[in-house]
Copies of this chain bind each other. A is one copy, B any other.
Amino acid sequence: MQAQLIALDWGTSSLRAYKLGPAGCVLEQRAWAFGIMHLPSEPRVIAGVLCSDGFELAFDAACGDWLDAQPGLPVIACGMVGSAQGWSEAAYRQTPVDVASLGQALHPVRSLRGVQVHIVPGVIERVGLPNVMRGEETQVLGVLQGLGADVLIGLPGSHSKWVEVVEGCITHFDTFMTGELFAVLSKHSILGRTQQQSEKFQVAAFDRGVHVALSNDGQRGVLSTLFSARTLGLTGELAPDEQPDYLSGLLIGHELAGLPQQAKHKPIVLVGAADLCARYQRALALCGFVHVSLAQEATARGLWQLAVAAGLTQPVQEA
C-alpha cells in the first residue's frame, strides 16, 4: 500500500517512526533509542555528503529507506525534537490552545536530503508557575475524538501530565515529576538500599502506599511520608520485595491528591504505557475518581490529523 506520511514521535530518550497510509493507518513502525539526548555520532554519507550531525544521522537511520523508496513523502514530528536542545526550536503556543489548530503552526526544518521535517510546537501555560509540554499536545489531539466537551486527560510517565481540555482546547495542565522521582529514589537514595525487585505486582503494598498518601500522615506531604518506605521495612511491616510497589503507590497517591477536587466527577482518560496506566487506574479508583477510562496511545493518529490540517497530506476520500 502506498504511504502518505512519515510521522515521528521524537522525545528525550527515544525516536518512534511511523509510515502511515490512507486515513492514517499504520503501515510500518519502528523504535530507536535515538532520543535527542542519545543521538548517533558515527559520521556517515547522507545524500552524497559526509555527515556527523546527530539529528541528520538519526533521521536517516529512522526513515531514510522510506524516503529513498518514496522521495516525496511529507514528514511531521513532535516532541523534544522541537525544543531548544532539539533539531530546531519550534516556539511554544500559549494556553488556551485549540489542539487541532496546531497544524497551522508547524515549524519546518530542512534536512540534508532536502526533505522538510514539520515540527509540531509544544504548549506553554504562563498562569501561575509556568508549565510546558512537547509531544503530549499531539497525544491529546489523537485521543480527543469521541470524548465529551470537558475532559481531564492523564498521561502518566517520568513527568506525568494532567491536561484539562474544554471543547478541543487545552485550558490548563500540570506536570508531576512522579516517574523520575521514583527512578532516582530507587536508584540513588537510601530507599533503594532495602528494596528488592518483585517478580509480580505487589498489589497490597501498592494500595497501602496510595492509602498512606491519602491519610492524615499524608497531609504532611510526600517529603515526610517517603521515609515510611524505609521505616515500614525496619519494623517488618513491608518486605524488601514489597517496597518498590509501596513507593510507587505512595508517589502516585500523592500525585492524585494534588489534582483539583472537582476532577473527581469529571470524565478522566488515561493515555500511555499499559502497565503504568493500570496502576493509575487502580489508584484513581482508591482516591474516589469515578469516571476513568483508558485510551490507546495515539501519537501517530494525532500527527496524522495535524498533517491533514496543515495540507501535508489528504484525508482519505470516502468511497
Taking Cβ atoms with an 8 Å cutoff, the residues of A that contact B are 84, 124, 126, 128-132, 159, 174-178, 180-181, 184-185, 187-190, 212, 215-217, 219-228, 231-232, 234-235, 237, 251, 254-255, 257-259
Contact = CB atoms under 8 A, between A and B. Distances in A.
23 contacts: A84-B234, A126-B235, A128-B216, A129-B225, A129-B227, A129-B228, A129-B232, A130-B231, A130-B237, A131-B227, A131-B228, A159-B190, A175-B227, A177-B189, A177-B223, A181-B226, A184-B188, A184-B189, A219-B258, A221-B257, A222-B222, A223-B251, A223-B254
Given A187-B188, A221-B221, A223-B251, A234 B174 contact: no
Contacts of A190: 159, 180
Determine how many copies of this chain the complex contains.
Answer: 2
Contacts of A189: 177, 180-181, 184
Given A184-B184, A184-B188, A254-B221, A132 B234 contact: yes
B258 A223 contact: yes
Contacts of A128: 215-217
Nearest to A223: B176
A232 B234 CA distance: 39
A189 B219 CA distance: 25
A181 B251 contact: no
Contacts of A257: 221
A255 B189 CA distance: 18
Nearest to A192: B184
Contacts of A251: 223
B223 A178 contact: yes
Contacts of A258: 219-221, 223-224
A178 B221 CA distance: 11
Contacts of A84: 234
